[in-house]
Structure 1
Amino acid sequence: MKTELPEALARAVQTRLAQADKESWARRLWEGDVTLWTNADEAKWIGWLPAAEGKQVDFAQIAALVEKAKGHKDAVLLGMGGSSLGPEVLALILGNQPGFPKLHVLDTTDPDQIAGVAKAIDPSEALFIVSSKSGSTMEPELLRAYFWELAGKDGNRFVAVTDPGSKLEAAAKADRYAFIFHGDPAIGGRYSVLSVFGMVPGAAMGLDIKALYDATASMVSACGADTAVKGNPGVHLGVIMGEAANAGRDKLTILPSKGLEPIGAWLEQLLAESTGKQGKGIVPVDLEPLGAVESYGTDRLFVHLHLEGDSDAELEARLKALAEAGQPVVHIPVAAKEDIGQEFVRWEVATAIAGAVIGINPFDQPDVEAAKVATRKLVDAYEQSGSAEPETPIVETEDFAIFAPQATALSPSDPKQLLDLHFASLQPGNYAGFLAYIERSAADEAVIATIRAQVRDAKQVATVAGFGPRFLHSTGQAYKGGPNSGVFLTITRDPDPDLAVPGHKASFGNVQIMQARGDADVLAERGRRVLRVHLKKGGGGIKALASAVEAALNS
């Protein structure tokens, strides 16, 4: 790891490293010493450390799954947050091996995405992995109901990954699933990629799980309890992250080379959900288009993960220019994509250490439940009445309607003025968030990237984006519980066509919109600045919104 830090940050990092060395932070981490953090329940949540050594999985059961998966064309993972983001990294970076199924990861209630996967597979042939630590998370349960019907209720092609005693375990036993893999209750979801929650989907793709652990072992050793702090990659990175956040550089901007780009979504959850609480924390910035030096304020920490063999002269030149301009840049080389497990370990240790530096518990997520409760209330009301509670827009055009989840001083009748006032509230050190409850497609991602670049360049602020409800189990914690510096634009639309959920009045499209409404309500309750833009059927869609934002920024 190579670091280029401005002088003040470099001094703070060296001071903290000396403290960490003197106070044996690495050893205390491995021992689960709660005094390293907040004297709360941190000791209950360090099962991810032995999991990184391969101690959580049953290799005989994994081998049986490998034999079961052979010959299947497709496997579909139904999960959210920690149950889906790690496996998605494995699928996108390592991929399925010859003779093994392609893994499709579904962590959404978006009807278009669900229908897209259903169309891409043969439901009578595919293998389905239902993954949920608690076993009662709403989205996997709705997805399980849908694909259970579509697959002909054939339990022989279903696999459950869940903690012991969960509702999902009971359902899997009743429906005679082929396998039930038990998680470790001492591992939080976002730290679970090297447990069964990552390794079961990996094995189904034909990955050599033992070889993955072998490749990871050197990083586990380097981050071990007896390794001196100066030679400990996880502790060193964690101290940099924590000190940067304490100095106001709390927007950790992820700049991976092309071959490692998928890791950003996993890092988002790990960093945001672990550190974003009590008004503190790190806001991860992933997939933001690369800008000129003058586009960035003084609230950034840039981290570049570089896969050997990847070449990007423009990115390298920009990184050099950023460092020369006094921006902190961390370079992390990765020798081969098969070493991805090493990065899982490095960043998990770093995140736990950053929590110690910031002064928070990196293993709880006190604000995630609020959006779930708000959504459940709306969904339960829909199940009883068959309709959603009506709402009135502040302003509307032929393309979209704009809603505020609570009383707001923003009340012009011109949508351009309304958006202008919304983004005008961005101040140095703030960030703009785009929370899109629409299909996570390449086309939609490209338009949102364009909007982000426009706002960043106009306001010199960081920008983040997430697709809902996926981000609710990830960065949503930091948006609600972290620094109150976000200005959010929630984006919804009426799905066309929609998709029914077996046994429910509320469709997937209904649920998705109610998740957006519940999330926006909670953001507003927490004092966050938020508007919701609802794209109308037959209008210009998200491109019309992009045009409206551009006009507002240029007014």
Structure 2
Amino acid sequence: MAPGPGRGRAARGVAVRIAVAADHAGFPLKEPLVRALREDGHEVLDLGTSSPEPVDYPDFARLVGLAVREGRADLGVLVCGSGAGVAIAANKLRGVRAALCHDLYTARQAREHDDANVLCLGARVVTLDQALALTRAFVGARFSGEPRHVRRLAKVRALEAGELPAPPAVAAATAAWPEAPAIEAARERLERQAVGPRLWRRDPSLWSDVDGVRAAIAARLGWLDLPETMRARVDELRAFAEAIRREGFVDVVLLGMGGSSLAAEVLARTFPPGPAGLPVTVLDTTDPGAVRNALARLKLPQTFFLVASKSGTTTEVLALYRFFRAALERQVERPGDHFAAITDPGTPLERLATEGDFRCTFLNPPDVGGRFSALSLFGLVPGALGGVDLAGLLDRAAAMARACGPEVPVADHPALRLAAVLGGLAEAGRDKVTLVLSTPIRALGAWLEQLLAESTGKRGRGLVPVDGETPGTPEVYGPDRVFVGLALGEDPAVESALRPLAAAGHPVVRLRLADPLDLGAEFFRWEFATAAVGALLEINPFDEPDVARAKEATQSALATYRERGRLPEWPEDSVDDLVRVLGQARPGDYVALLAYLAPEPATAAALEALRHLIRERTRLATTVGWGPRYLHSTGQLHKGGPPTPILVIFTAEDAEDLPIPGERYGFATLEAAQALGDLATLRAAQRRALWLPLRGAPAAALTALAGTLAARLPGPRAG
């Protein structure tokens, strides 16, 4: 349909970016207004609210005001019942000039004479047609620039400067950066390509020139707004957590994988629950021993479960839900009261929650990808139950977002500086991003591992995050490393590990957090930096094209089990095979130990000893992944990243399977199918993948393996 009078790009002269928000009274007007502005060719940032449920208008005035002030939008439109409330609230923000307009003359003059940048409307005052006409008049007008209006506007700004306090400091975290020609070249490229401003404009051409891919990327950039948009949910989440505590629950268990669980685990392990919170445990495994251990530890009538899945179809999550649901049905009258779901709108999990009479369902913004969802409901709901100061966490994230604003040059940009280091050095051969973290924030490493590996590991390139590797002397590291220290305050342990590495010529990044709440800032910094690294490496950081292959291979193995009563047979590898492959390793390779085992302390210690031995003897970077958890983290990197991994899959013999309600197989069979499915996928991708089934107790078997390797592997090689 052709645009009518006052519509279309030609009528306005140019399309602009418009941030739109409303409270519950303005919601009915906001939705058609957003659609009309998009039809007119404008880029619209919809900041809520998303339903007619009662909300507070100052929260949404703040969202639009900040979007305009920080350059994420050129203009704003706010709608409440009268328009007066949002106008009053928005005008409390420095740099915002909000105008309440209910006639066309005022709408035009507010722009032409007063340079207003936010239009305020009353949904109970004007009709939809009037609102559209007012908005188009406001957007189509321009500040005249006449001397009398410039003079008066300067006086308005002087009043503002005298009355309003300066904005808070952008972020407490500090940083020190290495220098190298590759880093400088990456910085220049980021500046030349305007990566920062284009990212804020949600320009998908940063990562692809294919229309379909661009559309998919554009639908996954909602994480940019989470530091602001999630503020409106804080009171709701606090009330939810308080209700759970009042009802006598003593434990919270999150059933989730990858991006649906890792940020929650960071918060749970970093912030003790205290009197305002409950202990939160993440269960992200299909290992029958781990599931049995969780069942034995919990008092189910006093346990609350979060079922978290963006897609609502995650195999592991649904199996765990069915298991604990069946267990609860044997012990309580209303099992649904023990569950809440976190998912996207319209998923099978949302329907399952309704059918299962869950206490509630939290619908996450669908334009937020899993690994970029730390500051979304996937992180904040479990954080609230754990007693985390969500407002403080989001304040730090918002401060970092301001420091990463579209007008900030690369030299002063805390995320683009990091991207230049990681992307520039990766292209120069230093792609092993080795993390050194203060003990209290050590859980952040697993979240960073997934973010970097799954975002960048594709098209034969990418960053290889190395988390949890015990720091060594400079001699045990090859020239493929870059070290990133994240210290909580002045941490001598972190600095003592980094200082000799820097002195030996290894590039070292030093980031310092003032306190644990600065994790909010780091979540945002690293997400932004990862997106920028994608632009440098010319890959799409928002997809995971190889992950589905392992899932398909797992389902194929399970189909064989259903048909024949056994899984497909694969030949086992031997210690001799491992010694041979390690002996043939090339500089730049890395070793990934992938354990489909119960993550018990003795087993974890044996794996760490094994990886340490391999590093000391080969100078290769080493990683450890627990199966099937790593499939949702580093699995993409293993298959789609650089052809440098040596992958060793460990499985154990389970004396007794643990049934999954509604399935013909149990957890042990599912875990084995996942291990074999990944093995098949890795070998199909021409990766060096070995399968070593362990006999007897896993910790003892791993220790014996380490002893054999110690006797047979030569010492470290130079170079």
Task: Using structure 1 for the length normalisation, give the TM-score.
Answer: 0.92
By how many angstroms is 1:18 displaced? Answer: 3.1
SS in 2 for 1:429: coil
Please state if 1:79 is matched with 2:79: no
In 2: Cα distance, 1:549 partner to 1:510 partner: 30
Aligned to 2:227: 52
Residue 197 of structure 2: aligned partner: 27
Of 512, 516, 519, the residue aligned with 1:340 is: 519
2:666 matched to 1:507? yes
Contact persistence 1:272–1:478 (CA under 8 A): yes
Q: Which residue of 2 aligns with 1:546?
A: 706
Conserved in 2, the CA contact under 8 Å of 1:274 and 1:361? yes
Q: Give 3-state SS (helix, strand or coil) of 2:675's partner.
A: helix
Higher alpha-carbon deviation: 491-500 or 321-330: 491-500
Q: Secondary structure at the match of 1:54?
A: helix
Measure how far apart 1:520 and its partner are.
Answer: 0.8
**1:113 aligned residue:** 290
User: What amino acid sits opposite 2:640 in the alignment?
Assistant: G
Q: Which segment is superposed worse, 35-44 or 299-308?
A: 35-44
Alignment of 1:62-461 (within 5 A): 62-70=237-245, 71-152=248-329, 154-308=335-489, 310-312=491-493, 315-393=494-572, 402=573, 415-461=574-620
SS at match of 1:151: helix
Q: In 2, Cα distance between the equivalents of 1:231 and 1:199?
A: 29
Aligned partner of 1:5 in structure 2 is: 178
Larger Rg: 2
One-letter identity of the residue aligned with 2:623: V
Q: Quick one: distance in 2 between partners of 1:67 and 1:259?
A: 26
Residue 373 of structure 1: how far off its partner (Å): 0.6
Task: Return closer, same or farther for 1:212/1:3 CA change in 2, 3 Å cut-off.
Answer: closer
CA contact (8 A) 1:383 1:504 kept: no
Say if 1:293 and 1:318, in contact at 8 Å, map to a contact too.
no
User: How many Å apart are 1:309 and its aligned residue?
Assistant: 5.1
Question: Does the CA-based 8 Å contact 1:4-1:329 persist in structure 2?
Answer: yes
- Any unmatched runs of 5+ in structure 1? 394-401, 403-414
Contact kept? 1:304, 1:329, Cα under 8 Å: yes
Q: Does 496-505 or 40-49 show the bigger shift?
A: 496-505
Give the AA of the match of 2:603.
Answer: D
Equivalent pair of 1:57/1:196 in contact (CA under 8 Å): no
Work out the CA distance in 1 between the residues paired with 2:570 and 2:184: 54
Q: Identity of counterpart residues, as a percentage? A: 39
Partners of 2:556 and 2:288 lie apart in 1 by 21
Cα separation, 1, equivalents of 2:262 and 2:311: 16
For residue 302 of structure 2, give the secondary structure of its aligned residue in structure 1: coil
Structure 1 residues 57 and 479 mapped into 2: Cα distance closer, same or farther (>3 Å)?
farther
Q: Which runs of 5+ in 2 are unaligned?
A: 1-173
Contact 2:231 2:391 in 1 (8 A): no
Shift of residue 228 of structure 1?
A: 2.2
RMSD of aligned residue pairs (Cα, Å): 1.8
- Which shifted more, 26-35 or 364-373? 26-35
Say which of 469, 474, 482 aligns to 2:641: 482
Contact 2:462 2:642 in 1 (8 A): yes
User: How far apart are 1:58 and its partner, in Å?
Assistant: 3.3
Shift of 1:550: 2.4
Q: Deviations over 1:260-303 (max 9, x none)?
A: 21100000000000000000000100011211111111101100
Alpha carbons of 1:416 and 1:20: their partners in 2 closer, same or farther (altered >3 Å)? closer
Q: Structure 1 residues 104, 2: CA separation in 2 closer, same or farther (over 3 Å shift)?
A: closer
- On the 8 A contact 2:649/2:691 being kept in 1, the answer is yes
Instruction: State the Cα deviation string for residues 389-423 of structure 1 (Å, max 9, x = none).
Output: 23443xxxxxxxx3xxxxxxxxxxxx443222121
* 1:496 and 2:651 matched: no
Paired residues of 2:613 and 2:706 also in contact (CA < 8 A): no
2:187 corresponds in structure 1 to 17
Deviations 1:466-496 (A, max 9, x none): 0000000001100100000011111001123
**Counterpart of 1:255 in 2: which secondary structure?**
strand
Show the counterpart of 2:20: none
CA drift of 1:497 comes to 4.1
Contact 2:284 2:629 in 1 (8 A): yes
- How far apart are residue 125 of structure 1 and its match? 1.4
Q: Is the 8 A contact 2:610 2:702 kept in 1?
A: no
Secondary structure of 2:272's aligned partner: coil
> 1:72–1:100: 8 Å Cα contact kept in structure 2?
no
Q: Residue 69 of structure 1 contacts residue 101 of structure 1 at CA under 8 Å; is this kept in 2?
A: no
Aligned pair count reads: 530
1:157 positional shift: 1.4
Distance 1:91 1:65 in 2: 17
User: Contact 1:104–1:117 (CA<8 Å) still a contact in 2?
Assistant: no
SS of residue in 2 equivalent to 1:45: coil
Find the counterpart in structure 2 of residue 411 from structure 1.
none
1:296-329 deviation digits (Å, cap 9, x = unpaired): 11101100000015442xx423311111111000
RCO greater where, 1 or 2, for CA within 8 Å and sep 6 or more?
Answer: 1
Q: CA deviation at 1:457?
A: 1.4
Aligned to 2:517, the other structure's residue is in SS state helix
**Counterpart code for 2:450:** Q
Please give the alpha-carbon distance, in whole angstroms, between the structure 1 residues aligned to 2:411 and 2:461: 26
Alpha-carbon contact 2:277-2:388 (below 8 Å) kept: no
- Name the CA distance, whole Å, in 2 between partners of 1:391 and 1:43: 42
The whole-number CA distance in structure 2 between the counterparts of 1:332 and 1:518 is 39
Please say which of residues 540-549 and 442-451 is displaced more in the overlay.
Answer: 540-549
| Counterpart-to-counterpart distance in 2, 1:342 and 1:320 | 25
Show CA shifts across 1:31-65 (max 9, x none): 11122222332222111111132348634542441
Change (3 A) 1:437 1:56: farther
- Aligned residue for 2:606, secondary structure, equals helix
Report SS of the residue matched to 2:587. coil
Match of 2:252, SS? strand
Q: Is the 8 A contact 2:178 2:421 kept in 1?
A: no
Shift in CA distance, 127/57, structure 1 to aligned 2, threshold 3 Å: farther
Partner-residue secondary structure (3-state), 2:273: coil
Name the amino acid aligned to 2:592. Answer: G
Mapped to 2, the partners of 1:122 and 1:195 lie a distance apart of: 29
Q: Distance in 2 between matches of 1:485 and 1:546?
A: 22
